[in-house]
Chain A
Amino acid sequence: MTVSTNPTVGQEMEHPSAPLLRMERIPHVWCPSCGIGTVVKCYATALERSGVDLDKVSVVSGIGCSGRVAGYLKLDGFHTTHGRAIPFATGLKLGRPELLVTVISGDGDLVGIGGNHFIHAARRNLDLLVILINNFIYGMTGGQNAPTTPLGAKSSTMPFGNFETPFNLPHLAASSGASYVARWTCLHIRRLTWSIEEAIGKRGFRFIEAVAPCPTLYARLNKLGSGLDAMRFYHDTAEIRNGADTREVDVSFQSPIICGKFVDEERPTFLDLMHDHYSNRLGDGYVPMPPEGGMLHER
């Protein structure tokens, strides 16, 4: 008879992030070796480490596989309409300025149907942390072409390979006015977690792209193997280039993915600018919205 020296064997082990997860909702909807769960774990860990008041954290998602993230986090969570997570989050932040509002959603949601909102929120430097999970394809609807699908990659609506030029997301965010821009893959768990934690401590429009494997659709349609093969690919080819010029970090089909923190510069946020402007113009006549919001209520 072998006796385990591991004291946890035979006991129910709690997931280390259980306090932040809606465990009653597990198992989740994501496929085996999908990268979304990894990003959720990194976010949960970063939140715990950051020491922020979790009661004041809201998570907003749109529609799609990554749109389901808000439904698994034990925070105030909003699963909204397709592409509108950022404007919904804008309302939450401006309605109650003391909230830490995070948007976690996919590439099709945030820069496909929601692209206009993305660039305008970045332009305003709104106080939002936006984590975009990029799997290069529309997963929930079955593998259609995305605005991030690399040239030449196959999708169900580009069966002969994609001929549209995809977005370079860090460059889109940076050139639109984001004050923090980073990209990591699901292999870079520690760096992604650290980056999210760092971004939580900053202000303004913070954008983190997390490249994630989609074994069921993107990888299958392009014969790229399993989720593990994707990890191996990230491991063998990803290049960390902090401070890289975002014009040079575009993604080609199966080319090395350039990761790192590309932009980190504090600029006045939408709310800073609004407060300063009205204070200057209106003096004592200016009544800002209180941090807890402009509500009128009775219990």
Chain B
Amino acid sequence: MKADPAGVLTGSHYLDGDFACGEGAMAAGCRFVAGYPITPSTEVVERISRRFPTLGGTFIQMEDELASMAAVVGAAWTGSKTMTVTSGPGFSLMMENIGLAAMMETPCVVVNVQRGGPSTGLPTMVGQGDVMQARWGSHGDYEVIALSPQSPQEAFDLTIDAFNLAEIYRVPVMFLMDECVGHMTEKVVIPEAEAIEIEPRRLTEKSPESFDPYQVEEGQLPEFARAGDGYRFHTTGLTHDEHGYPEMSVECQEVNVSRLVGKIRDNADSIVRFEEEGVEDADVVVVSYGITARVARLAVEEARSQGLKVGFLRLVVIWPFPEKRIRELAGSVGAFVVPEINYGQIALEVERAAAGQAVTWPVHHAGGAVHSPDAITEIIIKAAV
């Protein structure tokens, strides 16, 4: 369906990534946000708290991030599109109820504007160290989807995609911004509402008598009923059967976990998204994401000007990871260079996917600033030798 015009601020704007993310959420139909202030993410909820009262949306500033995430999961069960927004320390606290969202198969969006860590780290300065935490930060085995914008425009566009993916796969979707993209101000074009495709919450058509909240008939997803429509369903964070009742058995656990994992892994080809250029005849391919992708592009241009054959691959969706594509490329290129603002997270994924066919060169940065393009160029030159 098309976006509700009420939430779409059509036009050309000069916005930072945080504001653009907030606008993307409202355009996507988000009408419930719970959050707790944390730098450098707070502008997202500041934007939303100013605009929501004119859109029929409710924002509540909760007492902490544990509560924010719990409220977002609760509100999602009313059928509303819901989101919370945070940064590293708050993201850690949200892990508990991100696990609940995964287990209950609750669509929602979690924005993390990454800063330097660990712990309180660098509250106002950039980091990309939460990539692995976004994937498996809550205990137990499950899969999520994570996206990473490189600009305010993408912060708008990809937030809408994040909401749509949450609906399609009934998962919490991680929106991994970083402080630079969050605080960078650029032109953002917001289209007309009718040009924005929205994935609606699809409610079951079954009668309450014939409905079971976790019965899967076709595909890998159960049908959804919302609270207050007479279905009188039950759901739980415990391992549960098709009725949503606790069932402590090896068999039921297998059914639960294999679905939580399978619905993402089996559909990875549809979810994976990346941009690449110049990879076909490249000796070295630079793999990057978020703000670092913009810095890496300068390094790629510099290396090319020195006569090197360098390709570039930017991850738009980080999880699931495009391992098939990396494996294919590993057969033809000599090396991957992976700059990221951490000490090697996606680099390990690239190395795993390359499976020994090509060498992986991480370009570490502990955080607080972006890489110097020269530091990346230097590694590209080494890798090309």
Contact = CB atoms under 8 A, between A and B. Distances in A.
A91 B232 CA distance: 18
A298 interface: yes
B238 A89 contact: no
A79 interface: yes
Contacts of A296: 1, 4, 29, 31, 81, 198, 200-201
Interface in A255-299: 274, 278, 282, 285-290, 292-299
Interface in B203-236: 203, 205, 226-236
B227 A88 contact: no
A299 B232 CA distance: 18
A231 interface: no
Contacts of B67: 84, 86-87, 90, 116-117, 120
Contacts of B96: 81, 84
B227 A74 contact: no
B373 interface: no
A298 to B, nearest CB: 4
Contacts of A299: 202-203, 205
Contacts of A95: 32, 58, 74-80, 82
A149 interface: no
A225 B54 CA distance: 60
B246 interface: yes
Residue from the set B66, B227, B238, B245 with the largest chain A CB neighbour count within 10 Å: B227
Residue from the set B57, B67, B79 with the largest chain A CB neighbour count within 10 Å: B67
B79 A297 contact: yes
Interface residues of B, number: 58
B73 interface: yes
B31 A289 contact: yes
B70 A99 contact: no
A294 B201 CA distance: 12
B71 A76 contact: no
A81 B234 contact: no
A58 B75 CA distance: 12
A78 interface: yes
A60 interface: yes
B277 interface: no
B72 interface: yes
A70 B233 CA distance: 10
B70 A84 contact: yes
Contacts of B53: 278, 282, 285-287
Contact of B234 (A70, A91, A286, A288): A70
B74 A298 contact: no
A281 B292 CA distance: 43
Interface of A: 22, 25, 54-56, 58, 60, 70-71, 74-81, 83-84, 86-92, 94-96, 98-99, 116-117, 120, 274, 278, 282, 285-290, 292-299
28 contacts: A70-B234, A71-B236, A76-B77, A76-B227, A76-B228, A77-B233, A77-B235, A78-B77, A79-B235, A79-B236, A80-B70, A81-B97, A87-B67, A87-B68, A88-B73, A90-B60, A90-B67, A91-B74, A92-B78, A95-B77, A96-B79, A116-B67, A287-B6, A290-B56, A293-B80, A295-B201, A297-B203, A298-B201
Given A116-B64, A295-B201, 17 more contacts: A22-B245, A55-B230, A58-B228, A75-B232, A76-B233, A78-B74, A87-B68, A87-B74, A88-B70, A88-B73, A91-B71, A91-B76, A274-B58, A285-B53, A296-B81, A296-B201, A298-B200
